[in-house]
Amino acid sequence: MTAHETARAETQQENRELWRWEESRWTNPDIDWKAGGIISAGIDVGSVSTQCVIMVDGELYAYGSLRSGSGGEDSALRGASRALEGTGMTVDDWHYCVGTGYGRVLVPMAKKAVTEIACHGRGANWMYGPSIRTILDMGGQDCKVLRVDERGKIVNFAMNDKCAAGAGRGMEVFCDFVGVPITEAGERSFQVDEEPRAVSTTCVIFAKSEAASLLREGWDVNSVLAAYSLATAQRVVELMQRVGLEPELGITGGIAKNRGVSERIEKEIGMKFNARTWHNPEYAEKEVPFDTQIAGAAGAALFAKALAEKQKGK
Amino acid sequence: MLANWGYQDGSGGYFIVIDTDVCDGCGKCVEACPEAVLEVGEDPADPLRDDPVAFVTEEQRKKLKFTCSPCKTYLTAGGKEANAGSTGVAKASDRKNLPCVASCEKEAITHSW
Amino acid sequence: MITAGIDIGGRDIKVLLLQDGKVIARTKAAGGFEQGKVAENLVTKAADDASVQREHIERIGVTGSGKKYAPPHDVDITEIGSIAKGATFVMPSAKTVIDSGAEDSRGLKVENGTAKDFVTNDKCAAGAGAFCESMARALEVSLEEFGKISLTSAKPVPINAQCAVFAESEVVSLINSKTPTEDIARAVNDALAERVVAMVKRIGVEKDVLVVGGLAKNVGYLEALKRGFQTDVMVPEYPEYIGALGAALAASEQ
C-alpha cells in the first residue's frame, strides 16, 4: 500500500459523513390511526441504510429512512423511532411487523422475516403501479433484478450479493479512492468532453489500481468516474438481460439516486426507467417524497397486512 | 417463477436456475449433489407459497463457481468424457449430465455455465 | 554470459541476475508510480550487489503484468512462460506450479520447461493475494506473521463474504467482537486456498507441486493448500523471484 493510499484510508473514517444519502421521514396528516384498521409495519435493515414504513389498512401512514447503525437490532429500533416521530403511535400499536433486508432476522418487533426479493417486488408494484414488470434494485451490498406480474408477485429474479463491484459498496469505495462524495459522483461523471471507455475489470480493487494509472496518464477525475460508472452499468445490464427486460421498467434503491450509473444503463439497453413518481395519485397530490429506498419496507408492510389478515382468519 | 441463484463478479456469471412452477420439492437433486449446494424448504422468494421448493443454500449462493467446479471438470456425455477443463465452463450440451440436472425428472434445474 | 530478468508485478518489481546458469543477485522494490525508473535502478543495484559492472549484463528479459512499463530490453516473455521456465529451473521434477501474487493467481501444468495447460484468475481479488493483504492490514500484522499466527488456530471462524472488500468489513466486525486473531487469520487463509485449489484442480494436480509468488511465504496459506490438494507442496528458496528468473533464463537462451 502506497503512502498515498494509507493517508486516504486514514481520512476515510473522518469523511464518512460525505457518503451519506439524505435521510427522510414523512407522516400522512389525513389518517387517524386510532380510528381503527390494521396497522402493519415493514422494516428493511440494509447494510448501508434502514427504512421503516407504517401502513393503516394498506395506506401509507408514515415512513423513516436513515443510515444503518451499529447492528441489525439497533438499526431496526432507530428506523422505527424515526418513522414514529410525532405520531403518538408506539411499536406496541402495531398488529404485525415484517422484517426484511440483510438484517431481517435481527428486527426484534418482527413476527416474520421475509426476503427482500419478495418485498421489493410488492413494494415496487405499490410505488410504481400494476404496469411495472421489471425492477432493478441496487443497495449498498447487493443488486437484484426482478420480473413481476400485475400484483407484484415475482415471476423471475436474479440477485447478486457476492461482489462489491456489483453493489453500492463498490461505488462508495471507488468514490472514496478518487476523493469525490458519492452524492456528486453521478453529476460529475457527465462533466466530461467525451465519454471514455469502461475500466477493464469491474473488480473495484483492481479498478482502483487502474484508476491510479489513468490519473497518472493525465485523465481527470470526472473521466475516471465516468469509466468506472460505465463498467458498473455494463455489469448491471448483464444481470438484467439474464432476467429479461420486459417493459415497464422501474428502479429502486440507492442506485436510483446515482444517474451516473442509471442513465448509462438506459443507454445500453435502449429503454428508460419509469419516472420516479407515485402511481397512487393521492400521494402525488400530497407531494409525499418519492424515496426509492422505501420499496423494500413498503412491500414488507404490505406482507405484514396480508399475514395479519390471515392470522385473524379473514 | 424462475429463481436464478448465484452471482456475477469480475470473472463472469454463475447461476443455477430453478423453475419453481415445475419443481415439486421431491428432493432428488439434494441427494444427487455431492457438495450440499441445494436444499428443499420454504420458498425464499414467495412467503405466501405453502409447498416446499428446491433452492440453493444461502451459504453456497456466493461460491457456486468453486463448489460446482469438480462436477464440471469431468462430465460424461453418452459415454465420452467431456472436460470443462481450464475454462471451468461446461458446454451447454454437456450440462444436462451434471448430477443435479440429471436427477430432476421435471427438468426444473439448469446451470448457466 | 550475464543476463537480467525483470518481473514487473501489480505491486512489486523483482530483478534477478543470472550468470552461466547461476543466480548471482536478487533484489526487489515497490513499483509505485514510476515502474520504468524503479526497474532500471534495481538492475543497477543488482549489478552492484553481485560486484559486476552494469555494462556486463548482456541481455535483459522482461515479464509481468506491468511489462509495458519496462525500460529498454531484449526479450519479452509472458508470465505463464516465465513461471514455467523458472519453476523447472529450481525444481525439475515440478509438474504442477501454483503462482500466487498480489493481484492474480495461476495454476500451470509444466512439462519440459513449458506450460502444457494453465488456469488464471486476474479478474477477482478474492482469488488473489489482495484478499489476504487487506485482512493482514486490518489485523495490523505483516503477511508473514499473518501466516504464522494462523497455524496456531484450532478453530477457524466462518467467513461469509466471498469478496475481498466485503470480507474486510466482516473481519473488522470480528476484530471488534474480540474474535482471536489466529482464528480470523486461519479462516482467511483457508478461504483463499479453497478458491485457488478449486481453480487449479480444473487442470488436474500432479506431483510434484510447487508454489511460487509472494504468497508462498504465507505458511498458513501453504498448509491450507496442502489440505486442499491432499498432497505436499514445495516452495523454492525465493518464491517471489521465479518470474524474474524465468525472464533471465529466456534472455540467456536466445
Q: Are the beta carbons of A167 and A141 closer than 8 angstroms? A: yes
Residue A48 to chain B, least CA–CA distance (Å):
20
Q: Residue A9: which pLDDT band, with cuts at 50, 70 and 90?
A: very low
Integer Cα distance of A44 and A52 in angstroms: 6
Q: Are the beta carbons of A11 and A3 closer than 8 angstroms? A: no
- How much is the pLDDT for A297? 96
- Average pLDDT of the segment spanning B8-12: 90
Cβ neighbours of B84 in C, within 8 Å: 202
C-alpha distances in Å from residue C206, one per residue of C68, C194, C200? 34, 18, 11
Which among A39, A43, A54, A153 is positioned nearest to A98, based on CA atoms? A43
Which among A26, A22, A31, A32 is positioned nearest to A52, based on CA atoms? A26
Q: Residue B28: which pLDDT band, with cuts at 50, 70 and 90?
A: very high
Q: Residue B86: which pLDDT band, with cuts at 50, 70 and 90?
A: confident
Alpha helices, DSSP H, located in chain A: 3-14, 72-84, 116-128, 168-178, 182-189, 204-216, 221-243, 259-269, 281-285, 295-312
The answer to whether B82 contacts chain A (CB < 8 Å) is no
Which among A95, A97, A96, A100 is positioned nearest to A114, based on CA atoms? A100
C-alpha distances in Å from residue A146, one per residue of A159, A240, A277, C196? 8, 9, 19, 33
Which among A141, A123, A113, A122 is positioned nearest to A46, based on CA atoms? A141
Residue A142 in grid coordinates: 447487493
Residue A18: pLDDT above 60? no
Q: What is the pLDDT of residues C128-183, one digit of tens each?
A: 999 998 889 888 999 889 999 999 998 889 999 999 999 998 999 899 989 999 99
Contact C201 B73 (CB under 8 A): yes
C-alpha distances in Å from residue A128, one per residue of A16, A143, A246? 32, 19, 15
Contact B13 A162 (CB under 8 A): no
Integer Cα distance of C176 and C159 in angstroms: 15
- Which residue in the set A117, A163, A306 is minimally distant from B7, CB to CB? A163
Integer Cα distance of A190 and A108 in angstroms: 43
Residue A102: pLDDT above 90? no
- Which residue in the set C33, C103, C137 is minimally distant from A1, CB to CB? C137
Q: Please give the residue of chain C at the shortest CA–CA distance from B89.
A: C202
Residue B67 to chain C, least CA–CA distance (Å):
8
Residue A62 to chain C, least CA–CA distance (Å):
32
Q: How many residues does chain A have?
A: 314
Contact A157 B4 (CB under 8 A): yes
Query: What pTM, to 2 d.p., does this model score?
Result: 0.89
- Which residue in the set B7, B13, B47 is minimally distant from A118, CB to CB? B47
- How much is the pLDDT for A84? 95
Cβ neighbours of A163 in C, within 8 Å: 124, 162-163
Please give chain C's pLDDT, 254 residues, in tens. Answer: 999 999 998 789 999 999 999 999 999 999 888 889 999 999 999 999 999 999 999 999 999 988 888 999 999 999 999 999 999 999 999 999 999 998 899 999 999 999 999 999 988 999 999 999 888 988 899 988 999 999 999 888 999 999 999 999 899 989 998 999 999 999 999 999 999 999 999 888 999 999 999 999 999 999 999 999 999 999 999 999 999 999 999 999 96
Residue B85 to chain C, least CA–CA distance (Å):
5
Residue B59 exposure: Cα atoms within 13 Å on the Cβ side: 8
- Choose from A141, A206, A210 for mutation: most chain C CBs within 10 A: A206
